[in-house]
A and B are shown apart, each in its own frame.
Chain A
Amino acid sequence: MIKEFVCIVCPNSCRLTVSEENGEITVSGNECNRGVEYGLSEYCNPRRMLTTTVAISGAVLPRLPVISTAEIPKNKLKRCLEQLYSTAVTAPVQSGDIVLRDICRTGVDIAASRSIYRKNDRESDEEAGR
């Protein structure tokens, strides 16, 4: 099997070709060794950071941004999102608080990427009592 990638390790943006023959994987098109490493990981086990939001109640905003504590296998991103999209948390939340542990058995946690306070009571009174 042959796959092509653009290396993102440096701005040179080498066009890598990764081919697999009889269980042997070779990377070509790279100008430096870091390209081999990148090509292999993209071919064998591509991983991505996951950032999105979850619903939050009682906060000044209705959404809490979250981030994975490590990269997640690319093919599991969709399932992780599904799970996050039915997750809701309640304010207050501190940046770094874990929202979901070991999401989709990836071994990676999902953490709040900001702190968020409870909705100011005074503010909501004013809006309700107009």
Chain B
Amino acid sequence: MKRVEIDIAVIGGGPAGLAAALKARELGAEKVLILERNIELGGILQQCIHDGFGIHRFDKRLSGTQYAQLFIDAVEQSDIAVKLDTMVLEIGADKTIYACNKSEGMLEINSGAIVLAMGCRERTASQVLIHGDRPAGVLTAGAVQRYINMEGYLPGSKAVILGSGDIGLIMARRMILEGLAVEGVYEVMAAPGGLTRNLVQCLDDFEIPLHLSTTVTAVHGRKRVEAVTVAQVDGAMKPVAGTERRIECDLLVLAVGLIPENELSRAAGVEIDPRSGGPLLDENFMTGVPGIFAAGNVAVVFDLVDYVSASGEIAAAGAVNYLRGKLGEEKSRRPVKAGENVNFVVPQRLGRECGETTFFLRVSSPQKAATLSCCSGKKLLFKKRCRFLAPPEMLTFTADASGGDELVIALKEEAGRR
């Protein structure tokens, strides 16, 4: 078995892993290695050919592929080691990584620190309790995106899309441009999940109807999809009897949510936050296992790739400091609590002297205008006004959160404002 000694191992060569590796090298880590299961770097961005990436980071509207290319070029120009077509099979709590590929066989990688950047997977038809038949023609949005954009094939001719998040909307436009008919986009929630820009440019531009509070309940067709049944849902998301409608189509595209892929993390002993779906993290994006960090969508599903890259850099900085012994072995960490209208916050716990810390959070329900507050006991650490808050959009801020006890982050409705 081939043994590899490395300072920082980055698991996953998507946007989080690329940013983490570059940052770690920039901060002086000597031997940085990216382990990527695909045959090329870039992760899921390689199938995101639409524009709108990098607005915060580069002040440009790049395509996903362009965004990835900037990082890939930088990695290729650096001395960061990359192992492609390499699958990590196991991470031990002692940070030993077992991975394999065709050319080197089994690898045992001993790493000073690890950055987990495996990304996420899509929820499937069974996970959203769609019933009826199980024919060909039911695919997740990501699979459709891959088939059309990378493999060059059309998996249907008339599609129904479930889920109005940006992924669902982008795929609606993609399929129209590829000559498919899109019967409509269905959304179980009462409000659309995607940005207004995408509602306008992906749906309105092509006169694709959006049906809110409506879901797909059944698929029909024993071999290939022939139709689906949609039904309106009540306040408890349960289909309302009598509202069923049968729609002829040959493709059902599911854009119904993402799940962080933490199977490796769990096996390494990393504790998972049931609300974020990712590891419990501290201000350095370090997990509960010292020396193992998490970044990108494996940490929490971000809405913007800019934040994914940012999280990679936070984790990389933490990993470099860990290697240098600068991260004290803190026994007790202060919890960060989700207060009023906050669904979850990352990081979930902080060291005593955490300093400037970047927080990422999502709201529980939409708010037109609210004041974000970050308090330690009675002390207000940070405050800002926010407008047009919605659960699909991530909110981020940076504040010095050193000292004190537990933190509470809340969003209080602004009285008298609309």
Chain A residues with a Cβ under 8 A of chain B? 5-8, 10-13, 48-49, 51-53, 55, 60-63, 65-67, 74, 81, 95, 113-115
Contact A65 B196 (CB under 8 A): no
Judge whether B353 is part of the interface by a CB distance below 8 angstroms.
Answer: no
The B contact surface, by secondary structure, is: helix
The 3 closest A-B pairs by CB, nearest first: A11-B388, A65-B49, A114-B65
Whose C-beta in chain A lies nearest to the C-beta of B45?
A114
Q: A49-B61, A51-B51 are in contact. Are A8 and B197 (CB under 8 A)?
A: yes
Q: Which residues of B contact A81 (CB under 8 A)?
A: 177
Binds A, one of B147-155, B279-287, B339-347: B147-155
Q: Which residues of B contact A66 (CB under 8 A)?
A: 49
Whose C-beta in chain B lies nearest to the C-beta of A13?
B196
Q: A11-B387, A49-B51 are in contact. Are A62 and B152 (CB under 8 A)?
A: yes
B119-158 interface mask toward A, CB cutoff 8 Å, 1 = contact, 0 = none?
Answer: 0000000000000000000000000000001111000000
Q: How far is the CB of B393 from chain A (nearest CB, A)?
A: 8
Q: How far is the CB of B46 from chain A (nearest CB, A)?
A: 7
Q: How far is the CB of B206 from chain A (nearest CB, A)?
A: 10
Contact B65 A52 (CB under 8 A): no
Judge whether B39 is part of the interface by a CB distance below 8 angstroms.
Answer: yes
Q: How far is the CB of A118 from chain B (nearest CB, A)?
A: 13
Contact of A51 among B49, B199, B205 (CB under 8 A): B49
**Chain A CB within 10 A, most for which of B39, B51, B63, B65:** B65
B322-344 interface mask toward A, CB cutoff 8 Å, 1 = contact, 0 = none?
Answer: 00000000000000000000000
> How many Å lie between the Cα of A62 and that of B68 in the bound state?
19
B377-390 interface mask toward A, CB cutoff 8 Å, 1 = contact, 0 = none?
Answer: 00000000001100
Q: How far is the CB of B332 from chain A (nearest CB, A)?
A: 39
Q: Which residues of B contact A62 (CB under 8 A)?
A: 151-152
Q: Which residues of B contact A13 (CB under 8 A)?
A: 196
Contact of A63 among B150, B177, B387, B388 (CB under 8 A): B150
Question: 12 interchain pairs (CB within 8 A)?
Answer: A8-B201, A11-B196, A13-B196, A52-B178, A53-B49, A60-B40, A62-B152, A65-B149, A66-B49, A113-B63, A114-B42, A114-B65
Q: A53-B152, A55-B152, A65-B149 are in contact. Are A114 and B68 (CB under 8 A)?
A: yes
Contact B201 A114 (CB under 8 A): no
Contact of B199 among A6, A10, A49, A74 (CB under 8 A): A6
Extra contacts besides A8-B197, A53-B49, A95-B66 (20): CB < 8 Å: A10-B388, A11-B387, A48-B201, A49-B61, A51-B51, A51-B63, A61-B150, A61-B151, A62-B151, A62-B152, A65-B63, A65-B65, A67-B49, A74-B205, A95-B69, A95-B73, A113-B49, A114-B42, A114-B65, A115-B69
Q: How far is the CB of B404 from chain A (nearest CB, A)?
A: 33
> How many Å lie between the Cα of A123 and that of B378 in the bound state?
63
Whose C-beta in chain A lies nearest to the C-beta of B40?
A60
Whose C-beta in chain B lies nearest to the C-beta of A7?
B196
Q: Which residues of B contact A53 (CB under 8 A)?
A: 49, 149, 152
Contact A67 B66 (CB under 8 A): yes
Q: How far is the CB of A41 from chain B (nearest CB, A)?
A: 13
Contact B151 A63 (CB under 8 A): yes
Q: Which residues of A contact B46 (CB under 8 A)?
A: 114
B186-213 interface mask toward A, CB cutoff 8 Å, 1 = contact, 0 = none?
Answer: 0000000001110111001100000000
Q: Which residues of A contact B40 (CB under 8 A)?
A: 60
Q: A52-B49, A95-B69, A114-B69 are in contact. Are A63 and B152 (CB under 8 A)?
A: yes
Q: How far is the CB of B368 from chain A (nearest CB, A)?
A: 9
Q: How far is the CB of B352 from chain A (nearest CB, A)?
A: 37
Q: Which residues of B contact A65 (CB under 8 A)?
A: 49, 63, 65, 149
**Chain A CB within 10 A, most for which of B49, B50, B151, B387:** B49
Whose C-beta in chain A lies nearest to the C-beta of B178?
A52
Whose C-beta in chain A lies nearest to the C-beta of B102?
A126
Q: How far is the CB of B14 from chain A (nearest CB, A)?
A: 14
> How many Å lie between the Cα of A74 and that of B151 in the bound state?
27
Contact B204 A113 (CB under 8 A): no
Whose C-beta in chain B lies nearest to the C-beta of A122?
B103
Contact A6 B196 (CB under 8 A): yes
Whose C-beta in chain A lies nearest to the C-beta of B148?
A53
